[in-house]
Amino acid sequence: MNPPSGPLRITLRPGWWLDRDDAGPGVPLQEMLALLAAIDATGNITGACRACGLSYRHAWGVLRRFEDLFGAPLLVTHRRQGSELSPLGQRLLWANRRIEARLMPMLDSLASELQEELQRLLPESKPHLRLHASHGFAVEALLQHMQAQAPGLELRYRTASEALAALDAGECDLAGFQVPLGAFEPAMLEHYRQWLHRDEHLLVHLAVRNTGLFIPAGNPKRIVGMADLARPGVRFVNRQVGSSTRHLIELMLRRLDIPVGQVQGYENSEFTHMAVAAHIASGMADTGIGVETAAHRFGLDFVPLARERYFFALRKELLDQPAFRALLGVMQGPSYRAFVGQLVGYDARDTGRVQTLDEAFG
């Protein structure tokens, strides 16, 4: 049996189905949601048809079918002024964006695990590196740039604390974590200290990124800083328990003597920067904290709070292994550095730089 000519890639994607109580198979919504997104982006059905590769007649058929199912319009058409989504269409589109922002990192992580499990069973299986890291745009891009490489990269999205604990236990080869520059750096390093050891570990610099408050465009609640989180009527969405961003939020509130109980929505959490941005952009919260790239992609305003350095920690003995040298070659290569450098709020000048803990933190 001849093996496939190209590398196998496993991908997982979220999907919507409408199920009815009167039996029959569920109705998939993927085509309708893609069409709504294209109409929202182009402002008319003709442009949406080109973007989706659909005929004008077929597109209208899709819309009419789901308008009949929902019993409400999905589109509002203005004579000579194009089309816009109805309130129902807008809500469906934003719900889909929230679902994708929340689930895609988990599905990508699971797909990476499945691919590596299957790859070990195939002929001529190549060694791979195990990377545990919190979700971020530079980390996501690294997985994509490594897909054509051998050995490969197995990525699991975990909080920084979980990743460093896994490295310390020998469960992964690289662990991603971030540290804010300035006043909060010592406290964050103290949080990580139990897993990082000068005599055992080295660091690879990934990027510097801007972290701050996400705010709806135009800033209707006039939010300008962390103190505004304690104001009545300001709804906050947090990051998950155990995440470094949540720990940074706690440090910032503590410095301002603001009890977390005064922050409305403090216990409401999302697992990624994109999910926080989608939560706010859909009107479910007034502010949250994450990296600037996510705010930009959802059209939100951004109030800078901190500059964070993102590192991969590794054991010193990994330094000379071919798998790690291949990864370092990608990180230091012009393609990956250029991609990270064009991310809004990211600085890639030191990407791929190997340092000791003393060199990084003094």
Calpha distance 75→36 (Å, rounded): 9
Enter the DSSP assignment of 319: T
> In which residue are the tokens 């393609």 written?
335
* Residues 6+ positions from 294 with CB-CB distance below 8 Å: 137, 214, 272, 273, 274, 276, 277
Q: Which pTM value belongs to this model?
A: 0.80
Q: What is the DSSP track for 249-295? A: HHHHHHHTT--GGGSTTTT-EESSHHHHHHHHHTTS-SEEEEEHHHH
Number of Cβ within 10 Å of residue 138's Cβ equals 23
Asked if residue 151 has a cis previous peptide bond (ω within 30° of 0), the answer is yes
- Mean pLDDT over 167-173 rounds to 95
* CB within 8 Å of 97: residues ≥ 6 apart: 278, 281, 282, 298
Give the highest mean pLDDT range of 6-15, 18-27, 75-84, 92-101: 92-101
Rg (CA), the chain: 23
What domains sit in the chain, N to C, each tagged with a CATH number? 17-85 (1.10.10.10), 105-361 (3.40.190.290)
Indicate the pLDDT class of residue 115, thresholds 50, 70 and 90: low
Distance, CA of 106 to CA of 148 (rounded, Å): 21
Q: Do 330 and 149 meet the contact criterion of CB atoms below 8 Å apart?
A: yes
Q: CA-CA distance, 74 to 66, in Å (whole number)? A: 8
Token pair 């569920």 is at which residue? 26
4: pLDDT strictly greater than 60: no
What does the pLDDT average to over 230-253?
A: 95
Contact 229, 213 (CB under 8 A): no
Mean pLDDT of 75-102: 81
Note whether 44 and 82 are within 8 A (CB).
yes
Q: What residue type is assigned to position 35 of the chain?
A: L
What is residue 3's predicted lDDT score, i.e. its pLDDT? 47
Summarised one tens digit per residue, pLDDT across range 26-66 is 788 888 888 888 888 888 888 888 888 989 899 889 899 88
